Amino acid sequence: MAQPYKHPTTGIYYLRRRVPDELRPTLGREFKRSLKTHNPSEAKSLFVKAWADSDEVFALARAQSGGVSLLGARDVQQLAARWVQEETTAMEASGDFSQWLVSSGSWTTEQGDHQQEHNPHTSLRQALEDGDDTDGSAVVEKAIKRALSVNRIPPPPQVSLMNAARLAPPGCFGQ
């Protein structure tokens, strides 16, 4: 019978479960969740709920890979809003906004014998408004894939993630 796994150095209990072969491309090799406890008896009760959650994740992944659309417009909006909040908090905490800036072209200036290259950056939103040849879809699709992965939601098969971005609330993904 399955039981909680105790991390050897932290002593925190986890659910560790092998992902079925057909779901590995989407979910990875192992499904792992912290039970956030050091107490063995509490871990056993939390383990039952976590196991049921993993069953649900597997069922959702199977349905999604079978072409069933499981995320409605409201689900997408909630995921996008959560993602925006998390990204904003992380960027403000680190002060690093570079991943959401795109190069807006470069030019070189000469001052006597010295040449200086300029590589200004602008927001994705501004680049798209200015009509730059920036591929905004690549930036947005990367963010959507990362957000789905963090929430352990398999990406929809053969559907442009840009369609999902269009359902997101205004202000998300630099819209």
> 105-125 pLDDT, tens per residue?
677 788 778 887 777 777 777
- For the entire predicted model, the pTM comes to 0.45
CA–CA gap between residue 163 and residue 145 (Å, rounded): 13
> 130-160 pLDDT, tens per residue?
766 666 666 677 777 777 777 767 666 544 5
> 46-74 pLDDT, tens per residue?
999 999 989 988 888 888 777 666 666 77
Exposure of 118 by Cβ count < 10 A (0-12 exposed, 13-18 middle, 19+ buried)? exposed
Cα dihedral 138→106→99→175 (10° resolution): -60
The answer to whether 15 touches 5, Cβ cutoff 8 Å, is: yes
